[in-house]
Structure 1
Amino acid sequence: MAGLMPDSDSEDELPPGWEERATVDGSVYYVNHATKGTQWTHPRTGKKKIVSGELPFGWEKCVSEDGKIFYVDHTNRRTTYTDPRLAFATEEKEHPHDFRQRFDASTTALQILHGRDLGGKTAIITGANTGIGFETARSLAFHGCTVIFACRDVTKASAAIDKIKCERPNVTCEVMELDLASLHSVKTFATNFKLHYKKLDMLILNAGVFGIGFSLTEDGYEAHFQINHLSHFYLTLLLESVLVDGCRIVVVSSESHRFANLSASKLTKEVLSPATVQKYWDMMAYNNSKLCNVVFATELARRWEARGVCVNALHPGNMVSSDLSRHWWLYRLLFAFVRPFTKSLQQAASTTIYCATAPELANVSGLYFNNCCRCEPSTASQDPELARALWDTSNEMIHAAIGRSTSSSEEQ
């Protein structure tokens, strides 16, 4: 049997004669073949490591007749006593939110998932039929994940799935109708999902609108606010009962959240959702909705910390060429002009995939990521008073809209 040594940098390299191994429970220990001794701490750094997560795609853990554990790589027809997950083993840290950056702005979503087996996992992706959402869905599906396309246009979502199946016929994808401009549609989607699925491993809140003219949804709220924030807020709360321990909730926000004008002292329903065009500016409406995304993710992480659910927000990339700019010709022109200098859709989906699947982010929650790396969000997004005010106001607006809808249906 051949040994398999993980990739490592010079700081983590073992001295001659040492070997790294993992126990059944995921603890890492080190063997000194010269002295026939073992120890739990790294011989150079003195730090402990732990192995977690599923085996890479194509690998199987087996037990020999004499009780020894070994690993079979069916893809390359190799066998080893060394746990292949050692390549991704993480050190116990005094500061658990400090990560060694493995990826950057040039990384693609499929590169992050290289070797991963997501079989048995289920993901919901809002707006999965196009742009960054499509590449996110495609990447997860390629690695065995069951992907639910939560989309308003069922026909376009079905065509997107057909496109993926042309590349990989055996992927598991399903369309479920979700119109984020309708809280009734959100409730119906959640009910239907829970009827067909008993668990959810990843909830990726990706869908959004940008630069649209002033309009109100059927619930009477400004479209940017409801589609980008309020409906995602409602959807998440409705799905709480099926979120498994270790579920990842990923909120796609934007660096535009830094230019919002929301504050705890001035947060009202009218500020969040202008009722008339006179109080509306599309860019500020978008910026405010993206701040709501980050604030929601941070507050949800705090409230659900004991549930074992990880919630993180992210910025996918600057002016990525997608359908987001479709609502106004000037934005389309600007996005087309900068396209050669921005990320591809596969690169733009990478931070979403990183937050949804990276082993080192297990049990990590309440953070903001850009280019697959943690960064500090705006000061406003970290204001606990703003977080509480947004949470309470969002709940009030949902209950008010649901109440109006119920009254209307009873009158009919």
Structure 2
Amino acid sequence: MSNNILDTDSEDELPPGWEERVTFEGRVFYASHDQHNTQWKHPVTGKEKYVRGELPYGWERVIQDDGTIVYVDHINKKTCFTDPRLAFAEPLKTSPKDFRQKFDGNSFALQILNGRDLTGKYAIITGASDGIGYETARSLAFHGASIIMACRNTEKAEKCKSNILKDRPKATIEILHLDLASLRSVKQFAEEYKRRAWPLHMFILNAGVFGLPYIVTENDLEMTFQVNHLSHFYLTKLLYDLLVSSAPSRVVVVSSESHRFPKIHTIEDVAEDSLSLPKDKYSDMNAYNISKLCNNLFSLHLNKLLAGKKVTSNSLHPGSCINTNIQRNWWLYRVVFFIVRPFTKSK
């Protein structure tokens, strides 16, 4: 007798007569219509799987009068009997040595958020009108979060908002002015945000500058240090209580692998009253490296302070030379980014 070989490229393909289902708690099981039984393990691979708890954004579980459960997709106006969470099922890890991961350096934000419902969550994203910030705002808005675009250029932010609303007309997006080169603007932003009585569940500190010559802000601070680190530090301090009262919440600091390379050998290498470089020792790359080191140290300490209050803080490296506009300040950086663009992430 020949073996019953399935004509498929997927090892997860079910044999005839089998159906994949999921419990309310998210554990996947398999039902055999021929044998009239159920089991937790896949009938072919023997693997067990699970899904995350909530339904994807726009979906609703409805129990009809006869007890039948159906799933309603309010965005696409469709109804089905299959739990949409099954599309995002993950293998159940059975050993601490199982290092499989679902996402890697090639994953996009929309892929990572697939199946998540962020309705009712409020997210501040600094620098949300370009690059990583814009893609973050777009992806979170697509999954139901209320987005606050904290931007210096509000006209550009309005165009970005319009682009998002073309694809998701019901997305909730607000724009508030924030100039990180001005501590006065930072304070005004925090006061305005509090005045609107919004909670704060996701605080994404993304905005930054790179490749600037030595420039002093209105606060008499070196520009790269203030924009990349100090103003974000100050803004977090002003919104600290709101993060705690909105818990569970999180802070995400966009840092860089450049944090490994600051040239600080003695205390004389930095200004007396800050970690910013004095003019006679300034280089744009070293200033950027120092600001990214400060990002990481800040995030680590913030997480330590807030860990017991259901608030987490993490820093991340978004990728090297990715396709954003951060290289705009010097032609040589623009050339380098252009050359490596085919080998880096686009969003």
The alpha carbon displacement at 1:21 in A equals 4.3
Match of 2:219 in 1: 219
Which residue pairs with 1:304 in the alignment?
306
Q: Paired residue for 2:172?
A: 172
Q: Structure 1, residues 190-228: CA drift from partner, whole Å, max 9, x if none?
A: 121122143122211110011111122233322212211
What is the distance in 2 between the residues matched to 1:299 and 1:16? 55
TM-score by length of 2: 0.79
Query: Residue 124 of structure 1: SS of its match in structure 2?
Result: strand
Cα pair distance change 1:67/1:314, threshold 3 Å: same
Q: How far apart are the structure 2 equivalents of 1:233 and 1:329?
A: 30
Could you say if the C-alpha distance between residues 267 and 292 of structure 1 is closer, same or farther in structure 2, counting changes exceeding 3 Å? Answer: farther
Does the alignment pair 1:155 with 2:173?
no
Deviates most, 261-270 or 215-224 = 261-270
CA contact (8 A) 1:20 1:28 kept: no
Give the 5 Å matches for 1:265-344.
270=272, 273-274=275-276, 276-344=278-346
CA separation of 1:252/1:98 partners in 2, compared to 1, >3 Å: closer, same or farther? farther
Q: Which amino acid aligns with 1:28?
A: R
- Give the 3 Å change call, closer, same or farther, for CA 331–116 of structure 1 in structure 2: same
Matched residue, 2:63: 63
- 1:30 aligns with 29
Alignment of 1:10-409 (within 5 A): 10=11, 21-24=21-24, 26-28=25-27, 30=29, 33=32, 51-67=51-67, 69-73=69-73, 75=76, 77-80=78-81, 82-89=82-89, 91=92, 100-105=101-106, 107-114=107-114, 116-243=116-243, 244-261=246-263, 270=272, 273-274=275-276, 276-344=278-346, 347=347
Query: What SS does the corresponding residue of 1:185 show, helix, strand or coil?
Result: helix
Judged with a 3 Å threshold, the aligned counterparts in structure 2 of structure 1 residues 93 and 148 are, in CA distance, closer, same or farther, namely farther
After superposing the two structures, state which structure 1 stretch, 158-167 or 221-230, moved more: 158-167
Q: Is the 8 A contact 1:29 1:39 kept in 2?
A: no
Counterpart of 1:54, as a letter, is E
Name structure 1 gaps, 5 residues minimum: 1-7, 348-412
CA deviation map 1:217-248 (0-9, x unaligned): 23332221221112112222322333333423
The 3 A distance-change label for structure 1 pair 321 and 42 is: closer
Comparing 225-234 with 110-119, which one deviates more in the overlay?
Answer: 110-119
**2:3 maps to what in 1?**
none
Letter in 1 for 2:255: S
Find the aligned partners of 1:237 and 1:20 in 2 and give their Cα distance. 48
Structure 2 gap segments, 5+ residues each: 1-8
CA contact (8 A) 1:29 1:38 kept: no
User: Residues 149 and 99 (structure 1 numbering): CA distance in 2 closer, same or farther, change over 3 Å?
Assistant: farther
Give the TM-score taking structure 1 as reference length.
0.68
Q: How far apart, CA to CA, are the structure 2 residues paired with 1:18 and 1:95?
A: 31
Which whole-Å CA distance do the structure 2 matches of 1:92 and 1:300 have between them? 31
One-letter identity of the residue aligned with 2:335: L
Tell me the percent identity: 51
* Alpha-carbon distance in 2 for matches of 1:248, 1:39: 38
Contact 2:88 2:114 in 1 (8 A): no
- Please give the alpha-carbon distance, in whole angstroms, between the structure 2 residues aligned to 1:311 and 1:94: 28
Judged with a 3 Å threshold, the aligned counterparts in structure 2 of structure 1 residues 30 and 140 are, in CA distance, closer, same or farther, namely closer
Shift of 1:76: 6.9
Question: What is the rounded CA distance, in whole Å, between the counterparts of 1:43 and 1:267 in structure 2?
Answer: 65
One-letter code aligned to 2:103: R
Greater mean deviation of Cα atoms: 235-244 or 128-137 = 235-244
Largest Rg, 1 or 2: 2
Structural RMSD (CA): 3.7
Relative contact order, CA 8 A, sep 6+: which one is greater? 1
Aligned match of 1:401: none
